């Protein structure tokens, strides 16, 4: 499922729909500032189905039902079944709570759920439970993953990497390899919602972690993707050039498809229908009940700016990797207050940039 050039101007590759903000966990870094109760202004079942229909009609292939905890919605299975029926690849990110019973997983599998993603933030129970704010969450994570595998579901583990758990990545990788998961999503925190500045990694730490992930990926039985860190693609390309697996960076960039980024392949719909370029970039651009998803994604000036590589500032603007990377626009916005500013968590310095920057 590789998008063609120009695809991201017409449709997101992945639509994240925050089906609810309700959640029984109290995660320290929660983007959604989740609460216990559901918001009465959430999209209804019919509105949710209409959103899925619109996503399909505009060409979006993948929808991730997220939250909060989507398992808090009683119509969850119905929504997954509808998405599957109209040809969407439906994924789900429930919270690791007792709500995700084997019976619910079985219903989801029958409804055609394509992927179940669940969070694991530490190799040890205390570390994970402290991060998620509820005792027993680590154990539930493993139980849910095992139940999902037993039912034949494709599984993904998501890990938020912070200064506190970064040393555990290799151990976590070993644990999830034993669970036979398909994908490890490593999220580099953006300071939005409850995420505190103390959870942020500096650019050099991020660089070192990305190289460790690339090393893990060489032998791991699962794929690795990063979230809010498109410069992982730059790291992979540089390593390939170093090993002479590709001729040169310029050749590779000419052929490589763009990575998804905020507003460029990614779109986020909040529980009440509000539309954002991603869940980590809090610039409100429209609502599915009013302007609609298609018009907002394709035509809102902020979405268009985010897709304009030439509008990138600082070293991202000067970087030969900007078309395959572009840096996290959400982190640039959170740290610099400007979405097109340079990515603060990237250690790469484009050739010749130092002197130009120094002159400026």
| Positions in the binding site for ligand SF4 (CB under 6 A) | 231, 234, 315-316, 319, 321-322, 325-327, 343, 346, 348
Cβ closer to ligand SF4: 83 or 327?
327
Q: State in angstroms the smallest separation of the CB of 15 from ligand SF4.
A: 24
Q: What are phi and psi of 66, to 5 degrees?
A: -130, -170
Cβ closer to ligand SF4: 8 or 222?
8
Q: State in angstroms the smallest separation of the CB of 196 from ligand SF4.
A: 23
Cβ(187)–Cβ(230) under 8 Å? no
Q: State in angstroms the smallest separation of the CB of 203 from ligand SF4.
A: 9
Here the tokens at position 34 are 């989740």
Q: State in angstroms the smallest separation of the CB of 325 from ligand SF4.
A: 3
- How does DSSP assign 135-186, residue by residue? TTHHHHHHHHHHHHHHTT--EEEEEEE-TTTGGGHHHHHHHHHHTT-SEEEE
Helix (H) / strand (E) containing 302: helix 301-306
Here the tokens at position 359 are 């002159």
Cβ closer to ligand SF4: 147 or 207?
207
Q: What contacts 24+ positions apart, CB below 8 Å, involve 129-135?
A: 131/27, 131/28, 131/29, 131/160, 131/164, 131/165, 132/25, 132/26, 132/27, 132/28, 132/96, 133/25, 133/26, 133/27, 133/28, 134/24, 134/25, 134/26, 134/97
Nearest partner of 68 among 30, 120, 33, 23, judged by Cα: 23
Q: Which residues contact 250 (CB under 8 A, 6 or more apart)?
A: 320
- Find where tokens 């969450």 sit: 137
Cβ closer to ligand SF4: 144 or 339?
339
- Find where tokens 């399909």 sit: 56
**Is the dihedral angle over the CA atoms 242, 245, 250, 253 positive or is it negative?**
negative
Cβ closer to ligand SF4: 162 or 226?
226
Cβ closer to ligand SF4: 273 or 327?
327
Q: State in angstroms the smallest separation of the CB of 335 from ligand SF4.
A: 12
Cβ closer to ligand SF4: 219 or 355?
355
Q: State in angstroms the smallest separation of the CB of 292 from ligand SF4.
A: 31
Q: State in angstroms the smallest separation of the CB of 340 from ligand SF4.
A: 11
- Three-state DSSP at 225 gives strand
Q: Longest Cα pair distance anywhere in the chain, in angstroms?
A: 63
Cβ closer to ligand SF4: 56 or 315?
315
Cβ closer to ligand SF4: 17 or 321?
321
Q: State in angstroms the smallest separation of the CB of 59 from ligand SF4.
A: 26
Rounded to whole angstroms, how far apart are CA atoms 213 and 90? Answer: 27
Nearest partner of 145 among 186, 110, 182, judged by Cα: 182
Q: What are phi and psi of 58, to 5 degrees?
A: -85, -5
Q: State in angstroms the smallest separation of the CB of 315 from ligand SF4.
A: 5
């Amino acid at each position: 499922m590789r998008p063609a050039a120009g695809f991201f101007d017409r449709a997101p590759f992945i639509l994240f729909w925050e089906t609810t903000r309700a959640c029984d966990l109290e995660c320290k870094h929660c983007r959604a500032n989740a609460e216990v109760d559901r918001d009465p202004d959430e999209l209804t079942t019919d509105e949710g189905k209409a959103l899925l229909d619109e996503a399909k009609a505009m060409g979006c292939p993948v929808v991730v039902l997220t939250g909060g905890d989507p398992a808090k919605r009683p119509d969850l299975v119905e929504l997954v079944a509808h998405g599957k029926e109209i040809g969407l690849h439906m994924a789900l990110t429930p919270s690791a709570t007792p709500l995700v019973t084997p019976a619910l997983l079985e219903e989801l599998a029958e409804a055609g759920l394509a992927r179940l993603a669940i969070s694991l933030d530490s190799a040890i129970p205390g570390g994970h439970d402290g991060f998620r704010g509820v005792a027993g969450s680590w154990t539930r994570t493993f139980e849910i993953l095992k139940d999902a595998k037993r039912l034949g579901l494709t599984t993904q583990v998501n890990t938020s990497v912070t200064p506190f758990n970064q040393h555990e990545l290799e151990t976590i990788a070993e644990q999830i390899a034993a669970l036979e998961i398909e994908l490890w999503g490593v999220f580099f925190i953006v300071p939005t919602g409850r995420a505190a500045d103390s959870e942020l990694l500096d650019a050099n730490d991020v660089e070192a972690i990305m190289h460790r992930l690339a090393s893990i990926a060489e032998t791991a039985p699962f794929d690795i993707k990063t979230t809010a860190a498109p410069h992982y693609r730059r790291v992979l390309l540089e390593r390939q050039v170093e090993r002479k697996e590709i001729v040169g960076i310029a050749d590779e960039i000419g052929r490589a498809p763009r990575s998804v980024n905020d507003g460029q392949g990614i779109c986020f719909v909040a529980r009440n229908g509000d539309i954002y370029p991603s869940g980590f970039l809090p610039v409100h651009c429209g609502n599915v009940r009013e302007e609609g998803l298609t018009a907002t994604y394709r035509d809102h000036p902020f979405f268009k700016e985010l897709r304009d590589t030439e509008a990138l500032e600082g070293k991202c603007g000067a970087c030969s990797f900007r078309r395959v990377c572009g840096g996290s626009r959400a982190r640039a916005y959170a740290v610099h207050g400007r979405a097109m500013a340079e990515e603060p968590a990237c250690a790469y310095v484009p050739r010749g940039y130092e002197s130009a920057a120094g002159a400026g």
